[in-house]
Structure 1
Amino acid sequence: MHETDMTRALIQTLRDWWQSQPGQPQIARVHLVVGQFTCVEPASLTFAYAAQTQGTFLQGSQLVIRETPLIAYCHPCGQEYKPEIGRRYACPNCGSPMEEIRSGRELKIDYIEIDYIECSTNFTPPAQPEVA
């Protein structure tokens, strides 16, 4: 299950970013883009994330995964298509082997959502000295 190792790497990347931020904000959600051709199982990745973030700066945060489909481009036909395993990923129009993948290999952090702590409404700024 390579999702466990991927989650460790993700947590380390997030930790490096988090430690560089002023005030080290509370991370609410981590949004990932995961392509179908990466062989990453989103449910396994979500499970590994929940287990490995317990007791860390990410505890309570949510992993949000957006999957991208496998899309290939056939140069002889000049068309994009969705490759299928049963066809050995060949172009459904002309049978040419898959040459170019346009989508489906992504595995990246898309963005991070942060919970901001609201300032107290009773805050009174210090008095400014009078200017003569």
Structure 2
Amino acid sequence: MHELDMTRCLLQALGDWRDQHPVQPRVGTVHLLVGEFTCVEPSQLRLSFAAAVKDTWLAGAQLSIVSVPLVGECLVCGNSYRPDPARGYASPCCGHPMETILSGRELKIQRIDYSRPPICGPPVQANPCAQPTPSFADPLPCTCPSATP
């Protein structure tokens, strides 16, 4: 079950993200893009994540998983298609083996929904020129070696 390795990598990426914040954020939902070709079972990943975050700074955080379909491209006929394992992933147009994967190998944090705890101290006057605070972080790819099949 490589979902445990994926969870470990995810926790490391979330820890790195947290370290960029001066005040520890409270994470509500972590939105993931998971490619079909990663062979990650979403229910197992959720179970592994829930067990790993219990009694940590991520306690109570949820995973939202969006599956990304496997799409291949044939370099012979130029066709983009959904590969069929029963056909050996070959192009349905010309039968040539799939050479390029356009999507389906992703394992990315798409966004993180979080809140910041209140900061103690005197009230701060609002700055009318300030930019709004983003509600999520930039996408963070999982760079763990086990993230690719």
Same fold, TM-score > 0.5, yes or no: yes
Q: Distance in 1 between matches of 2:87 and 2:81?
A: 12
Does residue 20 in structure 1 map to residue 30 in structure 2? no
Sort the Cα spacing of 1:124 and 1:80 in 2 relative to 1 into closer, same or farther, 3 A. Answer: closer
Match of 1:129 in 2: none
Q: Distance in 1 between matches of 2:78 and 2:8?
A: 40
What is the percent sequence identity of the aligned residues?
49
Q: RMSD over aligned Cα, in angstroms? A: 1.8
Structure 1 length-normalised TM: 0.85
Does residue 97 in structure 1 map to residue 101 in structure 2? no
- 1:1-132 aligned within 5 A: 1-117=1-117
| SS across alignment from 2:101 | strand
| SS across alignment from 1:56 | coil
Structure 2 length-normalised TM: 0.76
What one-letter code is carried by the residue in structure 1 that aligns with 2:64? V
What one-letter code is carried by the residue in structure 1 that aligns with 2:83? P
What per-residue deviation string (whole Å, max 9, x for no partner) do you get for residues 43-75 of structure 1? 110110011100001100111111100001112
What one-letter code is carried by the residue in structure 2 that aligns with 1:64? S
Of structures 1 and 2, the larger Rg is shown by 1
Gaps of 5+ in 1: 126-132
What one-letter code is carried by the residue in structure 1 that aligns with 2:54? Q
